[in-house]
Amino acid sequence: MVIGTNYIVAPHHVGLPAFTVSPPYRHNGIRNHEFSRNPGLTLQTVEGEGDPPGSRSRRLEITMASNSANISSDKRFLIFFDFDETIVDETSDDMVVQAAPGQHLPDWLKDTYQPGRYNEYMQRVLAYLAEQGVTESDIRSIMEKIPASPGMLTLLQFLRTRPPQDFEVVLLSDANSFFIESWLRRAGARQIFHRVFSNPATFNKDGRLVMRPFHSHDCARCPNNMCKQVVVRDYVARRTQERGRPYQRIFYVGDGANDFCPALALGPRDVVFPRRDFPMHRLITETHEAMPGDFKAVTVPWASGEEVVQRLRRLVAE
């Protein structure tokens, strides 16, 4: 496995080509194109609302240290999931716009978006929604109604019914904690996930959903608020130390360009499940063509979660 017990960040992924994946894809949300349109972007770190300087760089370490010790150490496999357009069949940030007057945002607000600063843009969107009288209940209701991706409920049920020593399940998303928790609890799926890592979001005293960046990092390929490879590397290193041994295999189920970055850290025994014809799949394909052998993990594209179930059944039986 490429991930080692020592946590090392390779900010620029030396040796990898600077891919430029051309839209359109099936989905057209801004977030899922940021990585591919700006692979060499140099990002500036901006502290979140209420964060003292430098606090974000410590948040990931503190969260993992406090949360991972109570997970059983006998899990054979570790599986990571993305949320938007992986577990659910839409982008939650796009769906929340349904709460706006006329179900669309004014042009002046959309024009404030800057590449690489999507989460700052979303904070302005959420502030605008609050000004228009959108409530916590309104947003939760929209999140709860997002449909699951094809076959995804079957996959989650498969994980739920496996022996307890089989899978440690982690959700890793650049959405936000309120959107994710709202959907998972409505779907009855929250207990499947041992950990959820996302941008923290809570309602303030004025009724506005305030979203803060998850952490800071040095990866030039990822948005400034989250590099999923940093999270994956650190989580695997910490859990390997706590367990006293590595996992038999690591799996990653995703769709977006920012799911490609963590997939680079996985090794030849690990399996990556990119959603077919989505940015993650396209980037992996381009990597294989441009630099054969540089992408280590086994790649199994999926259009339905049932395809993931079929492969997992075979692998856990080995």
- Report pLDDT digits (tens) over 196-226: 999 999 999 999 999 988 866 678 777 777 8
Q: Which two tokens stand for residue 220?
A: 């030039």
Question: Which pLDDT does position 72 carry in this prediction?
Answer: 82
Which range of 112-126, 197-211, 222-236 scores highest in mean pLDDT? It is 197-211
Residue that wins the pLDDT comparison between 119 and 205: 205
| Domains along the sequence of the chain with CATH | 31-91+147-203+213-317 (3.40.50.1000)
**Amino acid 38: pLDDT:** 38
Dihedral of the CA atoms 80, 44, 120, 187 (nearest 10)?
Answer: 10
- pLDDT one-digit tens code per residue, 6-43: 222 233 332 333 333 333 333 435 555 454 433 332 22
How many CB atoms are located within 10 Å of the residue 6 CB?
A: 8
At 69 the pLDDT is 52
When pLDDT is averaged across residues 276-290 and rounded to a whole number, the result is 95
Q: What is the mean pLDDT of residues 247-270?
A: 96
Report which of residues 4 and 184 the model is more confident about.
Answer: 184
Distance, CA of 236 to CA of 238 (rounded, Å):
5
What percent of the chain is predicted at pLDDT more than 90?
68
Whole-number Å distance between alpha carbons of 194 and 60: 16
Those residues with Cβ within 8 angstroms of residue 81's Cβ, 6 or more apart along the chain or in another chain: 87, 169, 170, 171, 172, 193, 253, 254
- Mean pLDDT is lowest, of 7-11, 178-182, 208-212, 289-293, for 7-11
Average pLDDT of the chain? 82
Cβ atoms of 31 and 51 within 8 Å: the answer is no
- Which residue out of 74, 82, 166, 234 is catalytically annotated? 82
Tell me: pLDDT of 59 over 90. no
Mean pLDDT, residues 109-137: 93
Alpha-carbon distance of 22 to 286, in angstroms, equals 12
HSE-CB of 213 using CA atoms within 13 angstroms: 30
Average confidence (pLDDT) over 96-122: 92
pTM (2 decimals)?
0.81
Q: CB atoms < 10 A from the CB of 159, how many?
A: 18
Tokens of 77: 């496999």
Q: Which of 42-46, 73-77, 114-118, 133-137 shows the lowest mean pLDDT across its residues?
A: 42-46
Distance CA 273, CA 308 (A): 7
The reported pLDDT for the residue numbered 26 is 36
Phi, psi of 239 (to 5 degrees): -70, -35
Residue 82 known to be catalytic: yes
**Active-site choice (74, 84, 94, 138):** 84
